């Protein structure tokens, strides 16, 4: 009885969301299996989605003596195959979904040797292997650029370049121009906290025009890697179709449903929970299950903007924080508010620890001037982290102690906790997605 009630409830929720035009709930084939007596399945089964899981992370991480439990990270599984092969394939679990970066990156250590040897490395004009560095807010990844046939859900891209993080041989030495950005080398499972990262942000390729001029670099740096090592920075074209050079946004490279994504996650219980399951939809307004509906479109800065791509403004505490963004790859909110106490416990002094939950009033404003309100609850990180839950809503990171808060940039990072209970749309730059054109976020 309880199960049936739940099933009916879930079905009702799916219908409501569908009526709103939003994603949420599997459509197509799954609808026919709910036991309805009036099933009329005239539409083809949709495959433009895959399962999102928020859990404690790869087994090799959680069981490692020096390992840990991931918090607030949404994972998908992806399949990579030797180009042209349907048998030399591997499904990689626990690949982090990141709307804050672009391109597929996989730890070379999790790829089976027989497959790895069949994944050729991109070569440059000098016929040397191509290496790549990508900067993240807390560090960088470095590795080779290899090619594989890529599949996720029902979508695929042939011969797609990806970064083989922590590759060996000539790639075992990180160029100084890569590490000079500062932060941690995320070339291991312990450092990365995932088997890979799939960047599905607003950029169509991971460096766009910045890497197309001699010596140029942007979010990414591409290297010529002769046997003596990777040092010279090379140009790479920004193409989302074969022949590729830069890493494309995997979604932008798909033949269909290639204008963006929807991250659809249920609301989290206040105290958190062990795991959560949702859906990542490919395409916006391309199928019956990914309509933009009534979501508010907040356009972002572009890849040619002075500040870079993917930024919106968050109005908070009477200040316009114009370097803000939605980032599923951040596992918390990061913002500065000196009125909220910071945790005093060891290892927690980067988090907020209000004595009771604090509700923040924010307004998200797009480059198009459109705004949407968002209420954000911040909990006591020390108390709420003290469990085995991988889903921990309401976690806020404090970037600054109280006397240095003015140094923090005008930024509000809306990490994965913001995505709980919402359908968050990410539209790719210059792609028409529903009634608007990317780059934009919408919810």
Partner 1 sequence: MKHKRNQPAPLRRTQTWPAAVRLCGGMIAVLAWFGFAAPSFATLGGVSATIEADRAHLAARSSTVVNADYTVHIMTLPNGGTVKEFERSDGVVFGIAWRGPSRPDLRQLLGARFNVLQSDIAVHGGRRLRAPLADERSDFVLHSAGHSGAFVGSAYLPQMAPSDFSISALQ
| Token reading at 350 | 């980067």
Under the binding rule (CB under 8 A), the answer on residue 182 touching partner 1 is yes
Return the residue matching tokens 């040897």.
Answer: 117
Q: Please give the residues from 378 up to 417 whose contact with partner 1 meets the rule CB under 8 A.
A: 385, 397, 399-401, 404-411, 413, 415
| Token reading at 65 | 């003596």
Residue 433 has φ and ψ, to the nearest 5°, of -135, 105
Under the binding rule (CB under 8 A), the answer on residue 336 touching partner 1 is yes
Select from 302-310, 353-361, 364-372, 417-425 the region that touches partner 1 (CB under 8 A).
Answer: 302-310
Binding-site member from 10, 137, 242, 256 for partner 1 (CB under 8 A): 137
| Token reading at 302 | 């572009």
Number of residues in contact with partner 1, rule: CB under 8 A? 78
Under the binding rule (CB under 8 A), the answer on residue 309 touching partner 1 is yes
Under the binding rule (CB under 8 A), the answer on residue 340 touching partner 1 is no
Q: With respect to partner 1, which residue has the nearer C-beta, 55 or 70?
A: 70
Q: With respect to partner 1, which residue has the nearer C-beta, 182 or 369?
A: 182
d(CA 435, CA 282): 16
Select from 123-131, 155-163, 210-218, 274-282 the region that touches partner 1 (CB under 8 A).
Answer: 210-218
Under the binding rule (CB under 8 A), the answer on residue 173 touching partner 1 is no
Under the binding rule (CB under 8 A), the answer on residue 321 touching partner 1 is yes
Under the binding rule (CB under 8 A), the answer on residue 315 touching partner 1 is no
Q: Please give the residues from 342 up to 381 whose contact with partner 1 meets the rule CB under 8 A.
A: 346-348, 350-351
Distance of CA 387 to the CA centre of its chain: 25
d(CA 247, CA 256): 18
Select from 150-158, 165-173, 198-206, 224-232 the region that touches partner 1 (CB under 8 A).
Answer: 198-206
Under the binding rule (CB under 8 A), the answer on residue 319 touching partner 1 is yes
Among the listed residues 358, 361, 364, 431, the one whose alpha carbon sits nearest the alpha carbon of residue 396: 358
Q: With respect to partner 1, which residue has the nearer C-beta, 79 or 408?
A: 408
Q: With respect to partner 1, which residue has the nearer C-beta, 325 or 443?
A: 325
Beta strand 358-365 with 371-378 is antiparallel
Query: 11 in helix, strand or coil?
Result: helix
Select from 64-72, 79-87, 146-154, 262-270 the region that touches partner 1 (CB under 8 A).
Answer: 64-72
Residue 406 CB, shortest distance to partner 1, in Å, is 5
Q: With respect to partner 1, which residue has the nearer C-beta, 95 or 203?
A: 203
Q: With respect to partner 1, which residue has the nearer C-beta, 144 or 398?
A: 398
Under the binding rule (CB under 8 A), the answer on residue 201 touching partner 1 is yes
| Token reading at 210 | 């910045």
> Is the CB of residue 134 less than 8 Å from the CB of residue 105?
yes
Binding-site member from 131, 187, 193, 283 for partner 1 (CB under 8 A): 193
Under the binding rule (CB under 8 A), the answer on residue 21 touching partner 1 is no
Q: With respect to partner 1, which residue has the nearer C-beta, 253 or 332?
A: 332
Beta strand 333-334 with 396-397 is parallel
Select from 27-35, 109-117, 234-242, 332-340 the region that touches partner 1 (CB under 8 A).
Answer: 332-340
Q: Please give the residues from 245 up to 284 whose contact with partner 1 meets the rule CB under 8 A.
A: none
| String of DSSP letters for 322-358 | EEEEE-TTSSSEE---TTSPBP-STT-TTBB--SS-E
**CA torsion 207→212→216→217, rounded to 10°?**
10
Under the binding rule (CB under 8 A), the answer on residue 69 touching partner 1 is yes
Q: Which residues contact 440 (CB under 8 A, 6 or more apart)?
A: 202, 297, 298, 299, 300, 366, 368, 425, 426, 427, 433
Q: With respect to partner 1, which residue has the nearer C-beta, 36 or 68?
A: 68
Under the binding rule (CB under 8 A), the answer on residue 188 touching partner 1 is no
Q: Please give the residues from 98 up to 117 whose contact with partner 1 meets the rule CB under 8 A.
A: 100-102
Q: Which residues contact 64 (CB under 8 A, 6 or more apart)?
A: 189, 190
Residue 122 CB, shortest distance to partner 1, in Å, is 20
Beta strand 436-437 with 432-433 is antiparallel
> Is the CB of residue 105 less than 8 Å from the CB of residue 141?
yes
d(CA 97, CA 90): 18
| Token reading at 109 | 């250590």
d(CA 282, CA 161): 19
Q: With respect to partner 1, which residue has the nearer C-beta, 71 or 167?
A: 71
Binding-site member from 83, 154, 216, 293 for partner 1 (CB under 8 A): 216
Under the binding rule (CB under 8 A), the answer on residue 64 touching partner 1 is no
Distances from the Cα of 95 to the Cα of 44, 105, 218, 239, angstroms: 28, 9, 24, 23
Select from 44-52, 135-143, 162-170, 354-362 the region that touches partner 1 (CB under 8 A).
Answer: 135-143
Binding-site member from 106, 130, 134, 204 for partner 1 (CB under 8 A): 134
Return the residue matching tokens 């019956």.
Answer: 288
| Token reading at 194 | 């995932």
């Amino acid at each position: 009885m309880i199960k049936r009630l739940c099933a009916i409830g879930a079905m009702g929720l799916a219908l409501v969301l569908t009526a709103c035009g939003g994603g949420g709930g599997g459509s197509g084939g799954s609808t026919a299996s709910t036991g309805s007596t009036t099933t009329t399945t005239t539409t083809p089964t949709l495959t433009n989605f895959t399962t999102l899981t928020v859990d404690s992370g790869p087994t090799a991480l959680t069981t490692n003596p020096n390992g840990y439990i991931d918090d607030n990270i949404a994972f998908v599984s992806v399949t990579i195959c030797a180009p042209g092969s349907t048998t030399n394939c591997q499904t990689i679990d626990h690949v982090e979904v990141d709307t804050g970066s672009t391109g597929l990156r996989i730890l070379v250590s999790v790829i089976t040797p027989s497959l790895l040897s069949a994944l050729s490395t991109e070569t440059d004009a000098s016929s040397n292997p191509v290496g790549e560095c990508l900067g993240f807010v807390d560090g960088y990844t470095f590795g080779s650029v290899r090619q594989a046939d890529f599949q996720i859900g029902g979508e695929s891209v042939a011969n797609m370049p990806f970064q083989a993080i922590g590759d060996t041989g000539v790639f075992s030495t990180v160029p100084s121009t890569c590490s000079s950005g500062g932060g941690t080398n995320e070339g291991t499972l312990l450092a990365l906290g995932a088997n890979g990262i799939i960047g599905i942000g607003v950029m169509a390729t991971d460096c766009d025009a910045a890497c197309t001029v001699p010596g140029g670099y942007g979010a990414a740096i591409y290297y010529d890697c002769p046997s003596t090592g990777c040092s010279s920075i090379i140009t790479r074209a920004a193409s989302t179709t074969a022949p590729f050079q830069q890493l494309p946004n995997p979604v932008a490279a798909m033949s269909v449903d290639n204008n963006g994504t929807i991250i659809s996650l249920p609301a989290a219980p206040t105290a958190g929970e062990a795991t959560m399951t949702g859906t990542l939809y490919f395409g916006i307004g391309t199928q019956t299950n990914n309509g933009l509906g009534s979501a508010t479109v907040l356009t972002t800065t572009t890849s040619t903007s002075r500040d870079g791509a993917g930024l919106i403004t968050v109005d908070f505490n009477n200040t316009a924080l114009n370097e803000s963004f939605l980032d599923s790859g951040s596992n918390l909110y990061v913002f500065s508010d000196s009125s909220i106490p910071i945790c005093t416990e060891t290892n927690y002094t980067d988090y907020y620890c209000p004595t009771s939950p604090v509700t923040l009033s924010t307004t998200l404003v797009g480059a198009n001037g459109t705004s949407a309100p968002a209420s954000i609850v911040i909990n006591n990180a020390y108390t709420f982290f003290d469990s085995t839950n991988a889903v921990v809503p309401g976690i806020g990171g404090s970037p600054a102690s109280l006397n240095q808060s003015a140094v923090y940039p005008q930024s509000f990072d809306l990490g994965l906790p913001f995505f709980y209970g919402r359908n968050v749309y990410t539209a790719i730059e210059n792609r028409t997605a529903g009634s608007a054109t990317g780059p934009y976020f919408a919810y």
